[in-house]
A = this chain, B = another copy of it.
Amino acid sequence: MTDDRLSATFAALADPTRRAILARLSTGEASVNELAEPFEISLPAVSKHLKVLERAGLIARSREAQWRPCILQAGPLKDIANWVEQYRRFWEQSFDRLDEYLKELQGKDKKNGRRK
């Protein structure tokens, strides 16, 4: 996987309509018309979003059925998951620190309670 490929995936995901299309496809294959239904945008606009998703390898058009439904392709999402995973320790550290801080506060509360 090249840098360009990862950039194309991130760019494709940087749009709420495109993420909603993926969410819909996660429940099963769908035609372009079915995908367009919940959105208040034109069919050409939906087609444009689908092209971006297809170029990024996030969806494919089935060749089996004549109506050529769109299907989710999860490979690029796995690449995103792998990429972000290398930063996990940073957000887990933040929680550890918050946890320590809360314990410290609770400790102070207990001490104050005893003094009353």
Interface residues in chain A, defined as those with a beta carbon under 8 Å from any beta carbon in chain B: 3-4, 6-8, 10-11, 13-16, 19, 22, 26, 72, 74-75, 77-78, 80-81, 83-88, 90-91, 93-94
Give the docked Cα–Cα distance between A6 and B72 (Å): 20
Give the docked Cα–Cα distance between A88 and B78 (Å): 7
Question: 6 tightest CB-CB pairs across the interface, nearest first?
Answer: A74-B90, A10-B14, A11-B14, A78-B91, A3-B16, A74-B91
Partner of A91, one of B7, B77, B90, B93: B77
Inter-chain contacts of A8 with B (CB < 8 A): 14
Give the docked Cα–Cα distance between A53 and B77 (Å): 21
Inter-chain contacts of A80 with B (CB < 8 A): 80, 84
